[in-house]
Structure 1
Amino acid sequence: MPLPLDLLTRPAREPIRRWVLKAFPRAENGGPDYDHPHGDPGLFGPHSATWRVHADFPGMLAGGLAALTLQALHPLALAGVWDHSNFRGDLLGRLRRTTAFVGGTTYAPRAQAEALIEHVRQIHDHIVGHGEDGRPYRANDPELLTWVHVSEAYCFLQGYRRYSHAALPEDAADRYYDEVRRTAEALGAHGVPASEHEVADYFRRIRPELAFTERSRVVLDLL
């Protein structure tokens, strides 16, 4: 008699579950309590495509890692992380901070979400330098902010499509891109794509600027 699926998957599932709970603590362990939110519905609200996509943890976890991989192909965006982040020594900490920002700007009350955005803007003010080719960069550069946002939103959406048990409604993808650009624009991004068609056009335009470098390889090895 075949073993139930639960028994077959348990050896792999339980270690993953323990790692996830340790890496991304829930309310009882010091994390935010998204199961019992308080205050106003924030920047998006419960009927938004953003709440739906960002609530799917497997898709978000896979999409988040995919986004970090994709972002490592932009030399100037990668230079800022390389020069000003301790990701090589604390990758989990970086993932946790990114998760807290995305979760907070998605589900927290508006004032709290706006405070998170302002905090990141202030941090970005101090992130400046030069890429490997000598070109200057600054984290508050609208073009770099747009790149980071689009690559992240695209990967979150693809993660949902691949791993969620529930299909997106037909128009949800365009609504999602149109909604989440609010966060990017609040951070200072300009010309943020607002639909799947615009995102596809954006990737075609920016492709010549991307490169797989030795730094990209280091990031990929860490991930």
Structure 2
Amino acid sequence: MPQADPGLFGPASVAWQLHGDPMMWIAGIRALWLQALHPRAVRGVTQNSAAFTEADAFGRLRRTANFVGTTLYGTTEAAERAGAAVRGIHRRLSATDPDTGERYGVDDPELLLWVHCAEVDSYLHVVRRSGIPLTAAQADAFLDEHRASARLVGLDPAGVPASTEAMAAYFEKARPGLALTPEARQVDAFLRRPPVRPLLRPARALVWGTVASLAYGALPPYAHELYGRAAPPPAVVTRRLRRAGTVLRSVPATVRWQLPPKHILRAVGRMGAGSRPSSYNLQRRAAILEGPGEAQRRDGGGGEGWRNPG
């Protein structure tokens, strides 16, 4: 009987285990807020789509989640096909810099790298800060593994940060070019109060308000400064993220994975029950492999133990 295709990551990867965590949705929203601070990157989105408007409410978040789910848990063929589709779209799109009049492609490697780094940094930051303990080696492995997804969108993996130290250096270098443009204000306004039907506005205030507050609070301090709104003290943000993580993780995975688009459910069906993603698998492996002193170096989830840029 032929062996099932594990895809580009597979159950042995840190990414496979972590992306089954429900806090990844909070991380995805944090990524949108962070990505919007790159002037050219955000213009590439707002000038080419209805994202962050009433016509496509939550469309970008949904499409990104579908792409990530396919590349993480789909077959190799499905992941490569999804990557080719994204590269094809990017090749056909361009945007204009209103300050210089310059026309540029949205597949500019600088823009692709910013979007990638803001995304994977958000994933790692939120899951750790919400209570999942990872060793330094596991955090580095997560970023290294995600160079496969960077390749799919058209980046040279050799130029993509593959460790927390390299990621911190990247953000330090990128920070001077960030700004609160009118387009970033548009994204900010959307994420704070996405357009919904009048009957859903109370639910938006209660549910989305909580989600958005968690995501915004998890941004680095320089992002809060650019957006012009302070976040609660870091310790308060961490407590809220951990509380949210505890609540969301209490929902059985088999229930959560029934929600569309069911990438994880299909992956487990393809690979077998032993492939079920869980942060517990990472903790168990770390306990087996760690040497003297490693437990003391393990990040307890507070977000400060891994050279985070913010």
- After TM superposition, the score normalised by the length of structure 2 is 0.57
1:96 to 35, 56, 62: 62
Choose the corresponding residue for 1:74, options 38, 42, 46.
38
Amino acid in the other structure paired with 2:141: R
| Aligned counterpart in structure 1 of residue 94 of structure 2, from 109, 128, 140 | 128
Contact persistence 1:143–1:189 (CA under 8 A): no
* Correspondence 1:218 to 2:183: no
Q: Distance in 2 between matches of 1:92 and 1:61?
A: 12
Tell whether the 8 Å contact from 2:31 to 2:119 is kept in structure 1 after alignment.
yes
Tell me the residue number matched to 2:117: 150
Structure 1: which amino acid aligns with 2:20? A
User: Could you say which residue in structure 2 is the equivalent of 1:109?
Assistant: 75
Question: Are the equivalent residues in 2 in contact too, given 1:79–1:132 (CA < 8 A)?
Answer: no
* CA pair 39-115 structure 1, distance change in 2 beyond 3 A: farther
Indicate which of 197, 205, 212 corresponds to 2:165.
197
User: Quick one: which amino acid aligns to residue 218 of structure 1?
Assistant: Q
What's the offset of the Cα at 1:181? 1.1
User: In angstroms, what is the RMSD of aligned CA positions?
Assistant: 1.5
Q: Secondary structure at the match of 1:129?
A: strand
Letter in 1 for 2:172: R
Equivalent residues of 2:93, 2:105 under 8 A apart: yes
Q: Secondary structure at the match of 2:95?
A: strand
Matched residue, 1:14: none
C-alpha separation between the residues in 2 aligned to 1:181 and 1:91?
29
Q: Distance in 2 between matches of 1:205 and 1:188?
A: 21
Partner of 1:161: 128
Deviations 1:79-125 (A, max 9, x none): 11011111112131221111000000000010001000000011101
* Higher RCO (C-alpha under 8 Å, 6+ residues apart): 2
State the secondary structure of the residue aligned to 2:58.
helix
Secondary structure of 1:84's partner?
coil
Identity between Structure 1 and Structure 2 (%)? 45
Structure 1 residue ranges (4+ consecutive) displaced by more than 6 angstroms after TM superposition:
none
1:83 and 2:50 equivalent?
no
Shift of 1:39: 4.2
Deviation at 1:140, TM superposition (A): 1.3
**Counterpart for residue 49 of structure 1:** 14
What's the counterpart of residue 141 of structure 1? 108
1:202 and 1:161 mapped to 2: Cα distance? 20
State the alpha-carbon separation in 1 of the partners of residues 42 and 95 from structure 2: 11
Deviation at 1:185, TM superposition (A): 2.1
CA distance in 2, matches of 1:148, 1:41: 26
Q: How far is the alpha carbon of 1:180 from its aligned partner?
A: 0.3
Residues 158-181 of structure 1 deviation map (CA, whole Å, 9 limit, x = unaligned) = 1111225x3223311100110101
After TM superposition, the score normalised by the length of structure 1 is 0.79
Uncovered stretches (5+) of structure 2, i.e. residues with no partner: 192-310
Q: Give the SS at the match of 1:149.
A: helix
Q: Which has the greater radius of gyration?
A: 2
- 8 Å contact from structure 1 (residues 185, 192) kept in 2: no
3-state SS in 1 of match to 2:136: coil
Q: Does structure 2 retain, via aligned residues, the 8 Å contact 1:43–1:106? A: yes
Q: 1:15 maps to what in 2? A: none
Displacement of 1:142: 1.1
Q: Secondary structure at the match of 1:78?
A: helix
Residue-by-residue CA offset, 1:53-92 (whole Å, 9 max, x unaligned)? 211122x111100000001001110111011111112131
Rounded Cα–Cα distance in structure 2 between residues aligned with 1:55 and 1:137: 36
Is contact 1:64–1:156 with CA below 8 Å preserved after alignment?
yes
